[in-house]
Amino acid sequence: MKLPFAEPFKIKMVENLKRTTKEEREKYIKDSYYNLFNLKSELVFIDLLTDSGTGAMSDIQWSELMKGDESYAGSRSYYQLKEAIKDILGFEYFLPTHQGRAAENVLFSVLIKKGDIIPGNSHFDTTKGHIEFRGGKAVDCTIDEGFDPTLNYPFKGNVDLNKLERVFKENPIEKIPFVIVTITNNTGGGQPVSLENIKQVSALCKKYGVRLFIDGARFAENAYFIKEREEAYKNKTIREIVKELFSYVDGMTMSSKKDGMVNMGGFIAMRDPELFREASVFNIMFEGFVTYGGMNGRDMAALARGLYESTEYDYLEYRVKQVEYLGKKLKEYGVPILEPVGGHAVFIDAKRFFPHIPQSEYPAQLLGVELYIEGGVRGVEIGTILADRDPETGKERFPKLELLRLAIPRRVYTNNHMDYVAVAAANVFEKRNDIKRGFKIIYEAPIMRHFTVKLKRL
């Protein structure tokens, strides 16, 4: 017999979970104004809100914490991280930040002026937030295939070169400070971008003299998909793929809470010493001195190790296969999901789950609430609430995709947990027609409203 797949690690420490009843959960979520961000984590049984900062570090990473150097300037841990970034990603310069959005804040402070246009592939919400906050405009150039939740296409995160070139041609080029490509494309369903696509985007950017940056939060998962799905790279190692990918771009922003395998942290990496000097000024102002920038020495040491662990093939195979496993189970129960399954999360398609509930009643949020009540499982809405209002018209934006994301923390849950999640979702699906109405908003913030929104059942 062929040996079955098993996790390439064993468990050294456990964290106990508390169980609650359905009746209790109904009360907890009502008291939280049906906003899953308002729930205390101990009232959640399986927490798939995010894969960001929620992973388990390895024994070696924990031992790195003990070796961290907390010197204000010139910390040994900073140089350890600098080495790892050079070795794995190939960038000469880097600035640590306290997380990914802080990296965006620093880099965009240098590069974006009011009225600028920043094309990309479905910018993540904090990326879009930081662009719009500066009076810029994020233009989504994702390929059309990326918006069809049932289409099985290997690289749904790809940038449409025609759409991108149209943006270059139709606008004064000096209004386009850079292009940002997010790998994997989180907002679009954790979908990968092919190396061929990166190469072509890079060539197009060079032709027009526009800089190209990568939002690399899940760069290692993206590299795994390149190895599995892109013929030309099937015999390359993950690290070779990663190195080649970043060789085509000017720099990156990173949320180390994902493929950095740490609980907090981020960085900007780049090739241009002048950009590094300019960004250093903002880093010192917003984050901290250039050799710590909002990170503890020990956390930089754990991150340096994390970059090596996340680019190991065995780890990535386990990681992506667990996400696939949940997707497969959900499909078996008839629950409509976005396909193919992404690298860090399974996205349930709320438009097909609740076809009788209009987007103006937030069907993906409704699904999230019902799944919590059913099984104590917490996902996150990637739909109309997250899309915010149009900053110019004040009108709600109804995105093409209305999804509930079940993001899986790295090295945290077993496949028994995945089985439990799938049954909870199947139970909600069984009674979907008894659920007749969604929500209305009773409070919302002017930007990134999803974190603090308050809802009322209709």
Catalytic site positions:
72, 124-125, 215, 217, 258, 450
Which residue number, 8 or 399, has a Cβ lying nearer to ligand F0G?
399
Number of residues that bind ligand F0G (CB under 6 A): 15
Subset of 89-108 contacting ligand F0G (CB under 6 A):
99-101
Taking the complex as a whole, the smallest distance from the CB of residue 393 to ligand F0G amounts, in Å, to 26
Range in contact with ligand F0G (rule: CB under 6 A) among 12-20, 67-75, 105-113, 123-131? 123-131
Taking the complex as a whole, the smallest distance from the CB of residue 96 to ligand F0G amounts, in Å, to 12
- 52 binds ligand F0G, rule: CB under 6 A: yes
Subset of 231-260 contacting ligand F0G (CB under 6 A):
255, 257
Q: C-alpha angle 345/346/352, rounded to 5°?
A: 145
- 158 binds ligand F0G, rule: CB under 6 A: no
d(CA 145, CA 148): 6
The CB-nearest residue to ligand F0G is: 100
C-beta of residue 412 within 8 angstroms of C-beta of residue 347: no
- 186 binds ligand F0G, rule: CB under 6 A: yes
d(CA 361, CA 350): 11
What residues contact residue 80 under an 8 Å CB cut-off, 6+ apart? 300, 301, 304
Among candidate residues 330, 335, 323, the one with its CA nearest the CA of residue 413:
323
Instruction: Say how many CA atoms lie within 13 Å of 303 toward its Cβ.
Output: 32
Q: Which residues pair with 212 in a beta bridge?
A: 179
What residues contact residue 214 under an 8 Å CB cut-off, 6+ apart? 180, 181, 182, 183, 198, 245, 246, 249, 251, 252, 253
- 130 binds ligand F0G, rule: CB under 6 A: no
d(CA 238, CA 314): 10
Which residue number, 224 or 429, has a Cβ lying nearer to ligand F0G?
224
Subset of 13-42 contacting ligand F0G (CB under 6 A):
none
Residue of the chain from 140, 160, 215, 299 that contacts ligand F0G (CB under 6 A): 215
- 450 binds ligand F0G, rule: CB under 6 A: no
Residues at the site binding ligand F0G, with contacts judged by CB under 6 A: 50, 52, 99-101, 124, 126-127, 182, 186, 215, 217, 255, 257, 266
